[in-house]
Amino acid sequence: MYIHPNRVKRKTDTTFVKQSAIVSFILVVAMVFVNLGAVAYIMLAKGDEYRQKAASNQLYDVSIEGIRGTIYDSNMTPLATSTTAWILCVNPKAIKNKFEDNSFLNKENRYDIFINDISKRFAKILGMKKSEIKAMLLQSELSYKRIKKEVSPTQKIALDAIINKPYGFPYTYVDNGLFKDKTEERTYDISISSLFTYESDSIREYSQSNFASTVIGVINAENKGETGIERHYNNVLEGTAGRIVTAKDSRGRILESSYETVFDAGEGNGIVLTIDSNIQSYLENALNRAHASIKSDGVYGIVMDVKTGAVLAVSDKPDFDLNNPRELVSKAAKEELKKYKVGSDEYKQAFSNKLYEQWSSFCITENYEPGSTFKIFTAAAAIEEGVANLKTTHNCLSYVKVADITYNCANHKSHGLQTLTQGLMNSCNTFFITIGQRLGLEKYNKYFEAFGFTEKTGIDINNEAFPVYHNPARMSKVDLASTSFGQTIRISPLQLITAACSIANGGKLMQPYLVDKVVDSDGNIISQTEPTVKRRVISERTAQSVISMMEAVVEKGTGKNAYIPGYRVCGKTATAEKLDDNTDDAIYIASFLCFAPADDPQVAILVGVDNAPGPYRGGGVLAAPIAKEVLESTLKYMGVEPHYTQSELAEVSRTTPSLIGKNVSDAKIAAANEGLVTRVSGKGKKVVSQVPAGGESIPEGGVVVIYTEEASDTLEVTVPDFTGRTASEVNRLAVNSGLNVVFSGPTGSAGVRAYSQDIRKGTTVEAGSKVTVYFRTDNIAVD
């Protein structure tokens, strides 16, 4: 059968078309499923990611830091506050677009000129390097960049003067005239206010700079606590973050404020410390004077309420300025850094280590051998266990042998036969070694643990030191001998004073604390710290026995430089060798621990002097006078009434009579009747003012300056150098200089001389002013 070729061809074409259609249909269906799968994958697997990318391209969303809460002293005096500040931000991408889209601006390097000029002007205002700012402005791929945090109100005013003013580019305008071209100097102005924005911020300010710096602590660049109270209570102080959300256009430019939503940042809660600014000032002033005069490596001190465990003051010298915490203060630290190349990794690490040393409180974060102050705990344990009492005697031959080790008293001095009280007065090592051996290892360790020396105190601050002590299971009699008088163990000053307060308060170990309460921004109390008794360590009877022994130390023993007329002071001196791997020379920490008044102790003080140069001197000479100065001011501030003995009353200062309104002649007679000398300024007949004022205390033979109605100029005198003189010499010099002296220290004892004064020599003051002169005796055995 014949089939026409065209017919065959048509049949073949039809088959091909059908097959092609089927294939195309299959491909289309496959592509549909592929696309559906891709859409499903994007929606289900990558949905969140792409939604975030879309939102980031359409929205400007930035966090606002919370406002940090205030730190107060116990009297609600602000010590650390956060003041209003700003963060300067820039849109580098918008700057680039502004210049690229404008035919005038995209010529003649005007973009570079603008960047350089703005960088230079901002750098001058913000105290930054021009290169830093320029690098940020040139990051044109970014729509948002923070230039500077903590922009102060003054800085913001200066910045606004630039940002809110039209920025002009000078150019020469040419008018092509028919016969002659005319030129004119013009300025092409652009608005730059939309290129820069501000976010709310705060500046942490410390009103008293160095005040309690090692306790308050510092914050880091992220506004978070790095040390001290700032760190430990960071979650309390830290405010809640806010947000700014607004729209951006397709080119990344932030739209007008009508598109903006602001979620305000919240203020953190406030912290009320147990530290009293007045007591802290007494401590800091005394330590500063001592550090300057003794020239030791450092001095430290703690003041504690014996009944509650509240820390009333704590200080370490040298300290640092909280408003400039990253500047090294120690000359020794600066010298040590010279060993490294500036900018090297070694230098950076060493610098960081020195900063943290500077920021640390020796009182809390460091350990040391307590030395003879520890003898009060050995005595307490022995009395409580009945192995010794106040009548117990010991014949000191200047040495004692335990196993094969010979222990000596300081300076190898023999104290002879003495009672337990006399043993503490003389700080006799052999007496307390003997008592420790009688007590035995098991009972000794029982009280060592009970007084809190095997654990941290748990005070509410970071990095508290952990004690170093002998393992009871491996402890020998030789170890017991050493620890009985405060050697071969290491505890922190905080642990020592906390344990001492358990003796002062009748036997209860208190939990020490630095924060009294947490308050909100309106001052409402959120939480309050209640004094906590951790445990009873000794009986009230035993505590009273140790108190009486410590009182004798100040009355007649190594602590006589802490004597205060009218107050019964209890104390114990110590001079402990400090282990230092960097030197073979003997280094000592001289310390003094005290509390008062003996009949009802209120406050305890521990003062230490680290590595004082010069002749070997103990805690009774170096530390006791400092503690006495702080204790006397604190007791008077707390309203603790002095109770004078008959002999003390005879030496009490006179009360200045009120002379205002009297005739000059009558005023002189009234002053003379009180044993006072007068100086007259002016030629009037009546007294219109006087220095000191009526009712103030000045020494017998002191000076009262009276001003008459014709007086015009204030009488001024120069403060002399009182140091190195006896009390009578000081008084005579003061009267001759027209000044009054407040005597502080054991002025009536042999060998007593002035060692410091509260107003520097050469200072000009008003005649009749009072100068406090501090006395001590160096005739004290080293313990």
Nearest alpha carbon to residue 329 among 338, 320, 339:
320
For residue 326, the number of C-alpha atoms closer than 13 Å in the C-beta half-sphere is 7
Q: What is the dihedral of CA 288, 289, 293, 299, to 10 degrees?
A: -40
157-180 residue pLDDT tens: 999 999 999 999 988 887 776 666
Q: Looking at per-residue confidence, does 700 or 113 come out higher? A: 113
Which residues does 534 contact at the CB level (< 8 Å), separation at least 6? Answer: 452, 509, 510, 511
Does 650 have pLDDT greater than 80?
A: no
Rounded to an integer, the average pLDDT of 275-288 is 96
Q: Helix axis angle, 540-556 relative to 493-504, nearest 10°? A: 110
Our measurement of the distance from residue 505's CA atom to the centroid of its chain's CA atoms, rounded to an integer in Å, reads 28
Element (H, E) at 89: strand 78-90
Does 560 have pLDDT greater than 50?
A: yes
Which residues does 406 contact at the CB level (< 8 Å), separation at least 6? Answer: 399, 400
At residue 715, the 3 state secondary structure works out as coil
303-358 residue pLDDT tens: 999 999 999 999 999 999 999 999 999 888 999 999 999 989 999 999 999 999 99
Other beta carbons less than 10 A from residue 49's beta carbon: 10
Rounded to an integer, the average pLDDT of 114-129 is 95
1 — pLDDT class (breaks 50, 70, 90): very low
Q: Of 105-119, 251-265, 336-350, 630-644, where does mean pLDDT reach its minimum?
A: 251-265
Dist CA 432 CA 435 (whole Å):
5
Q: List the catalytic residues.
A: 372
Dist CA 341 CA 348 (whole Å):
9
- The sign of the torsion formed by the CA atoms of 478, 480, 481, 483 equals positive
Dist CA 575 CA 400 (whole Å):
19
Our measurement of the distance from residue 302's CA atom to the centroid of its chain's CA atoms, rounded to an integer in Å, reads 13
Does 52 have pLDDT greater than 60?
A: no
Q: Looking at per-residue confidence, does 59 or 648 come out higher? A: 648
692-710 residue pLDDT tens: 899 888 877 788 999 987 6
Identify the pLDDT of residue 746. Answer: 81
Other beta carbons less than 10 A from residue 641's beta carbon: 9
Strands 603-610 and 587-596: antiparallel
- What is the DSSP code string of 497-566? HHHHHHHHTTSEEE--BSEEEEE-TT--EEEEPPP-EEEE-S-HHHHHHHHHHHHHHHHHSTTGGG-BTT
35 — pLDDT class (breaks 50, 70, 90): low
Element (H, E) at 717: strand 716-718
Mean pLDDT, the chain, whole residue set: 88
- Number of residues assigned to the chain: 783
CA 469, 472, 474 angle in degrees (round to 5)? 100
Q: Of 12-21, 509-518, 559-568, where does mean pLDDT reach its minimum?
A: 12-21
Identify the pLDDT of residue 151. Answer: 92
For residue 650, the number of C-alpha atoms closer than 13 Å in the C-beta half-sphere is 3
CA 619, 482, 465 angle in degrees (round to 5)? 70
Our measurement of the distance from residue 11's CA atom to the centroid of its chain's CA atoms, rounded to an integer in Å, reads 100
Which residues does 3 contact at the CB level (< 8 Å), separation at least 6? Answer: none
Q: Looking at per-residue confidence, does 33 or 93 come out higher? A: 93
Dist CA 444 CA 374 (whole Å):
13
Rounded to an integer, the average pLDDT of 222-242 is 91
**pTM listed for this prediction:** 0.80
